[in-house]
Structure 1
Amino acid sequence: MKYSIIILFFLLVFNNYAQPVKVNENYYSAKDEFTNDIFNWQYIQLPYPFNITDIFFKDSLYGWASHEGNGVFRTTDSGFNWDTSKFGTNNHIGGVHFIDRYTGWTVGVGGKIRKTINGGINWKIQDYEPYAGYYNKVHFFNSDTGVVIGSKNGPYGYIIKTTNSGNNWSEIFISNQIYTELKDQYWLNSDSGWLCGSNILLKTTNGGTNFINYYTNIPPTQNGSNALLGIDFVNENTGWICGSNLEHRNIYKTTNAGLNWYFQNNPVASYEYAQVNDIKFINSDSGWAGSFVGIILFTSNGGSNWLIDLSANDEFWSLCNYKNSKIWSGGAHGKIWYTLINPPIGVISNKNQIPLEYHLFQNYPNPFNPSTTIKYDISNYAQVTFKIYDILGKEIYSSNEFKKAGRYEFEFNGSNFASGLYFYKLETGEFKQVKKMVLIK
């Protein structure tokens, strides 16, 4: 996949509530600080000790994270370094969403809505009538149409919508029942969406013109209360909700479009405070759930079995899946966690071995059938492009990401390619080299 960095400077007059401040990142992967049982999780420690409430990545380089310190972090290099923008009041920001590298929105406590058109450097006020309540999540389908969820007049579930890029908003739902604050939303498309919260589970099939409450389809709890904090679907029938209740029933699944939900037992359910804050699936089998007790769960069979993927002295408040290649999690006290998901050509890294210079090794074995290993050395933190071409010059693989100094390996599998001569190229800002390899079947 090809990525290009486009640097644009916007000289625009905005209501300027935020100026960027450079954050010196701290990058951790020491095994004695936390336990990785399945995937290799790492975290970046930011200097601001706030809970990370939401994370959103638009591509492999550009991402944003909202936090309870009333601001938004931003990265332009895959999360190795983060800038921050802070707004003028002390209320926290609950959600963030971008439609491209430049245009995005954040929402927060006190009916706060902010928009940026320069990637989060400056933010413009787009509040919709002051009121006592929370905005927890924002989602935009395109540059014009978006939905914000939360609560109004205290804990009454509340939804507003815009069709002109946030310049005007209209109320499309307010609950008539107390303690129904909406916490999360998932949209299959601009018409069909699910929204969940405290004692409420809404579905719409017409873009929010009407909502049906599916809450009574969830097995009842001892006191009738169920805090639903996260929701995710992989198709119109199969989805999950997570949260907290007295019975420790913290993850539910449906396979018939919400008509029935059943509890999925998991290790966190045995804890005294068994709250699961967010849940994300990359397909009908593989998914993650982040919990309040410092555990990230993983399943490879749709939740029939949940395993402890990561155990750390932290709280996991949010999850983000970027194109099924990387999972991000927002932690407490300024920690942002991530792990790679089955890289397409089996990337292996050894950051403990610091090379003295850049070098691209000859693949081994060569010739090969069907797999071969390609090694390369990176001597400095750099943006690294790696590509593979066939004999006609057609690009069959491409990666472009920032990497720390170390030795890296690619395991290339040629099962889906024809026999013949191939070329692989490594390129950084100060180094470029091409080598040949031969696939013989």
Structure 2
Amino acid sequence: MKTLFCICILLVATGLYSQQFIKDTSFSTSNFVPLSFHIVDSSLVYGHDWDGFFNETFVYKRNYSGIWTRLSTLGIDGRTINVWGVDSSKLWLASQTKLYYTSNSGANWEDRLTVPSGGYINGLMFSEENPNIGYFLCDPPSNSGHRAIIYFTRDAGESWDTVSIYIGPNHLGLQDAGCIANNDFVYFGLTGNLWPNLTFLPRMIYTTNGGNNWSIITIPATELNVLKTSFKSTGKTGLISLYSDSSKIYKTTNSGENWTKMATFANGTVNLEWVGNSDIWYANFDTIVYKTSNGGMNWTKFLGTEEYDTFYDIKFKRSGNRYIGYFMVFNLKSLKYEIIRYSDTITTTNISNISSVIPSGYELKQNYPNPFNPETNIEFSLPKNGNIELLIYNNLGKEIYKISEYKQAGKYNFKFKAENLSSGVYFYRLITENFSSTKRMLFIK
């Protein structure tokens, strides 16, 4: 087992990284509730803050010149939950009971929606794939019979429809625990609960058909609360963070039918963020941010110093082979909340394009040479753009290598090197949205 573990570590790297940290010196606050972010694009970012002592909401915008400015929040009432930016002038703000909207950078706010008495909004989100689609989960209102309400829009918030779902007497939603993977797959994390001598396991509400039907998944874990759901854009593969007396990360590759525990951390709440079209996730546990580059199999310390006490919100946005991240942290020296801006470039070196001529169909060719020692070529064809996964398994069915990328239509070659593996039979598999194929190869030293 130790040998196989070492082999996996050597094989999982799929890219080279060029990274940079920048402290946004134009922003700092000593308010009581830390900021949450929404990244519109590489330069436009919104954030929100709520001062519990004065019951006052703050909304900030980082414009294209890199300066954070505070927007007017006149007319906003109650504790705010999160902000969602549309463009440089339009944004949404969710409070515990209302949705607000502005089309002029906060000069005027419209009260768009109020949930029933006793209900609470757990965070507003819109689809990255189709910004007209949006959702939020409302905790069961008074006298609702423990039925939560899912609000959804198909016209960018001009109108909202609802569907109710029974979640039981001991479950509630959690702030910012939802995830829109794509137009079909949507997830909401729920709390568990301890009742006298009974444990209610953590659950998720989910749909796989764009909200036409909703179901509940029970996660086989001892932790009570699903703090964060973070799924790939394919919809089926994702990580969730759970917390009660310890923090754990679980993974599913089939929309929650099965779960595998990927990591355990001693304490601290967990925020998970996926970097689009990759196997990269970030997770913060109080004073430390961790990173995985292989879908959760291995985690390494990414950021954490004695200067910073607690990392709160983290958000990422990818464009092409580059992505940016924002970290909200409390500085022990200045006694203020600060923002760290992070940028990274992923340069994939595993797969090379051998022809830009668009093929007529999908194809996974037999590797050559075969048998091979120590490397072989695997060619495949894609008739259209899309996400692909290329996986390699040993003869016991254990995954030992995985690439998950977005590719343009064309023909590609992947050079697989196996000098650190044992001789034997291996299998390689190509998966796209509309195609799947598996072939056998033989490695002989």
Shift of 1:233: 2.2
Shift of residue 283 of structure 1?
Answer: 3.9
Contact 1:133–1:153 at 8 Å: present in 2 too? yes
Per-residue CA deviations over 1:273-307 (Å, capped at 9, x if unaligned) read: 3321333233442221122x221111122221111
Aligned to 1:125: 111
Matched, 1:43 2:23: yes
Q: Which of 271, 290, 297 is matched with 2:284 structurally?
A: 290
Give how far 1:47 is off: 2.9
Change (3 A) 1:251 1:143: closer
Code of the aligned partner of 2:161: S
* Aligned residue number for residue 227 of structure 1: 226
Distance in 1 (alpha carbons) for counterparts of 2:20 and 2:227: 29
Match of 1:115 in 2: 101
Counterpart amino acid of residue 124 in structure 1: E
Deviation at 1:314, TM superposition (A): 3.3
Match of 2:207 among 204, 207, 211: 204
* Distance 1:134-1:53 versus aligned 2 partners, 3 A rule: farther
Deviation at 1:40, TM superposition (A): 4.6
Q: Is 1:81 aligned to 2:61, yes or no? A: no
Distance in 2 (CA, whole Å) between partners of 1:212 and 1:254 is 16
Q: How far did 1:115 drift?
A: 0.8
Match of 1:104 in 2: 91
TM-score normalised to the size of structure 1? 0.60
One-letter amino acid matched to 1:316: F
Aligned to 1:257: 255
1:384-399 to structure 2, matched below 5 A, reads none
2:270 is aligned to 276
Structure 1 residues 87 and 305 mapped into 2: Cα distance closer, same or farther (>3 Å)? Answer: farther
Identity %: 25
Q: String of CA shifts for 1:403-422, please: whole Å, max 9, x gaps.
A: xxxxxxxxxxxxxxxxxxxx
Report whether the alignment pairs 1:61 with 2:43: yes
Amino acid at match of 2:311: F
**2:242 aligned partner:** 243
Aligned residue type for 2:137 = I
Matched, 1:148 2:136: yes
Question: What letter matches 1:77 in structure 2?
Answer: Y
User: Aligned-residue CA RMSD in angstroms?
Assistant: 3.0
Aligned partner of residue 124 in structure 2, secondary structure: strand
Shift of 1:326: 0.6
Q: Identify the residue that residue 150 of structure 2 maps to in structure 1.
A: 159
Task: Determine whether 1:194 maps to 2:187.
Answer: yes
Q: TM-score, normalised by structure 2?
A: 0.59
Q: CA deviation at 1:74?
A: 0.8
2:72 aligned counterpart, secondary structure:
strand
Residues 326 and 227 of structure 1: CA distance in aligned 2, closer, same or farther (over 3 Å):
same
Q: Which amino acid aligns with 2:221?
A: P
Q: Is the 8 A contact 1:194 1:204 kept in 2?
A: yes
Distance 1:89 1:83, change over 3 A: closer
Check if 1:340 corresponds to 2:332: no
Q: How many angstroms does 1:234 deviate by? A: 4.4
- In structure 2, relative to structure 1, the CA distance for the partners of 1:59 and 1:40 (3 Å cut) is closer
> Partner of 1:314: helix, strand, or coil?
strand
Q: Which amino acid aligns with 2:173?
A: E
Structure with higher strand content: 2
Q: How does 1:276-425 map to 2 (within 5 A)?
A: 276-291=270-285, 293-312=286-305, 313-323=308-318, 324-332=322-330, 333-342=336-345
CA distance in structure 1 between the partners assigned to 2:119 and 2:23 by the alignment: 32
C-alpha deviation, 1:309, in angstroms:
0.8
Cα drift, residue 344 of structure 1: 6.9
Task: Give, in whole Å, the separation in 2 of the partners of 1:100 and 1:193.
Answer: 23
Q: For 1:245 and 1:78, locate their aligned partners in 2 and report how far apart those are by CA, in whole Å.
A: 42
What stretches of structure 1 of length at least 5 have no aligned partner?
1-37, 346-441
1:105 Cα deviation from its structure 2 partner? 1.2
CA displacement at 1:201 relative to structure 2 = 0.8
CA 1:343–1:176 in 2, change beyond 3 Å: closer, same or farther? closer
Give the whole-Å Cα distance in 2 for the aligned partners of 1:310 and 1:131: 42
Letter in 2 for 1:162: T
1:128 positional shift: 2.5
